[in-house]
Structure 1
Amino acid sequence: MNLFDLSSLGITHLPLFLLAGLLLNLTPGPDVLYITSSALRQDARAGVVASLGITTGCFVHVSAAALGVGALLAASATAFTVLKWVGAAYLCWTGVKLLLARAADGSGLGDGAAITRSQAAVSLRAVYAGGFLTNALNPKVAIFFLAFLPQFIVPEAPHKTLAFLVLGCLFTLGSIPVDIGWALAAAWLARRAWVRRSMHWLDRLAGAMFLGFGLRLAFSDNPSR
């Protein structure tokens, strides 16, 4: 078996898969919102770190789906509901924090030179962890992989689990340049004077959107039903 020959794994229509993955990764959602808000509030580095945290969370879902945990979430209403409410609570908590942030608390785009290296390191660790949790606590991501990836694996594939993992990794790795692009675009936008003056309202807008994503997740049904 040649791992570089993806057709030997039973993977089919790879160009279509890559195109669909690109379009899906460009679609705004909680992940994109977290990346852009991190870059707007801090800098491009924070946005990139946020994207890496989200990527790590995505790998968790790919592995879980391949190992059958995703199938458990799809089949078990209780398991799906528990993780759904945890994820919704986290998104809502993030939204409330942004809504209650004060304009003068330095969370806007203050002078980065005033932040010590140790504080910056802690901040970036928190940004990474937030990105990871934003993705990893959303059960609909695992179920998305269960629904999307098998369409590109032939029924008679000799190694379906390996094919699933390869496609999941390709999809996730393909999201990295897109996510970094969002981070760089948001950081560039943050350098505009009118954006710096509007950070208080941008926090409110991001907070309201996080709340919306959290409530939508909380009241969503198991997609498999």
Structure 2
Amino acid sequence: MTLAHWLPFAIASAILVAIPGPTVLLVVSYALGHGRRYALATTAGVALGDFTAMTASMLGLGVILAASATLFSMLKWVGAAYLIYLGIKLWRAPVMTADSTDSADTSETRTGRIFAHAYAVTALNPKSLIFFVAFVPQFIDPHAAALPQIVIFEATFLVLATLNAFGYALLAAAARRAVRSPRVQRVVNRTGGSLLIGAGLFAALWKKSAA
């Protein structure tokens, strides 16, 4: 693979991952609500979710989904329902005060649970599966072996997506210091929840032909 094939892919991927979507909304919401200590968990969930989606696409799942309206619809509705579920939970999340921080219930903020949420939101996005199948081949050099190129492209995208998610998490965690007020936290939770619900509704209404 030459630099002329890799560099356009890297630039296009960097632009794409920087655009806020459901995954970024989830990362920012957790960072605002719980601070920097959960940045690594959400980032790891995003990275594994992207890896799952890309690998499944490269193995042919994306092609199957593109050809099968039934499979596409099933995955679309599962992903959409999960986004709406997370949005409702964030909307109803209790606000934290300095006095209640130590005694707060952490059943919904365990690292494993947050990791699983980030993974599910990323991996269950049918648009990502279709996108990788349509996007990656455009940069493959037909005169070189395809598998090594796919591995390099996948690794490149994963690194960029991981750094992007971690950057959003750190920025949101830093901004969290400015939103200590319960009133502001409530607004942040409900805004983030509304955005996640909206993303879920958009995913449910997104037409297969728009992939």
How high is the TM-score relative to the length of structure 2?
A: 0.90
Structure 2, gaps ≥5 residues long: none
Q: Quote the residue 2:188 is aligned against.
A: 202
**What does the per-residue CA deviation read over 1:105-159, in whole Å, with 9 as the maximum and x for residues that have no partner?**
x4x777655469xx5897111110000000111111111111111111023433x
Overall identity of the aligned pairs, in %: 34
Which amino acid letter does the alignment assign opposite residue 68 of structure 1? G
Cα distance in 2 for residues equivalent to 1:120 and 1:82: 30
Tell whether the 8 Å contact from 1:30 to 1:210 is kept in structure 2 after alignment.
Answer: yes
Q: Quote the residue 1:147 is aligned against.
A: 134
Quickly say closer, same or farther: Cα 1:149–1:114, change in 2 above 3 A. Answer: same
Select which of 113, 118, 122 maps to 1:131.
Answer: 118
2:208 counterpart SS class: coil
Cα distance in 1 for residues equivalent to 2:10 and 2:130: 19
**Moved >3 Å (runs of 4+):** 108-116, 119-122, 193-197
RMSD value, Cα = 2.4
Cα distance in 2 for residues equivalent to 1:112 and 1:102: 11
Cα distance in 2 for residues equivalent to 1:61 and 1:161: 17
Quickly say closer, same or farther: Cα 1:124–1:223, change in 2 above 3 A. Answer: farther
CA shift, 1:164, in A, is 2.0
Which amino acid letter does the alignment assign opposite residue 13 of structure 1? H
1:198 counterpart SS class: helix
1:192 counterpart SS class: coil
Which amino acid letter does the alignment assign opposite residue 59 of structure 1? F
CA shift, 1:65, in A, is 1.0
1:52 equivalent to 2:52? Answer: no
Tell whether the 8 Å contact from 2:46 to 2:165 is kept in structure 1 after alignment.
Answer: no
Quickly say closer, same or farther: Cα 1:212–1:35, change in 2 above 3 A. Answer: same
Select which of 83, 104, 114 maps to 1:91.
Answer: 83
Quickly say closer, same or farther: Cα 1:40–1:224, change in 2 above 3 A. Answer: closer
Select which of 157, 175, 190 maps to 1:189.
Answer: 175
Which amino acid letter does the alignment assign opposite residue 153 of structure 1? I
Which amino acid letter does the alignment assign opposite residue 117 of structure 2? G
- Of stretches 121-130 and 175-184 in structure 1, the one that deviates more from structure 2 is 121-130
Which amino acid letter does the alignment assign opposite residue 57 of structure 1? G
Q: Quote the residue 1:73 is aligned against.
A: 65
Which aligned pairs between 1:204-223 and structure 2 lie closer than 5 A? 204-223=190-209
Cα distance in 1 for residues equivalent to 2:98 and 2:81: 27
CA shift, 1:224, in A, is 6.7
Q: Quote the residue 1:3 is aligned against.
A: none
Q: Quote the residue 1:172 is aligned against.
A: 158
**What does the per-residue CA deviation read over 1:20-65, in whole Å, with 9 as the maximum and x for residues that have no partner?**
1111111001011010101011011212311210110110011111
1:28 counterpart SS class: coil
* Aligned residue pair count: 211
Cα distance in 2 for residues equivalent to 1:131 and 1:29: 12
1:42 equivalent to 2:29? Answer: no
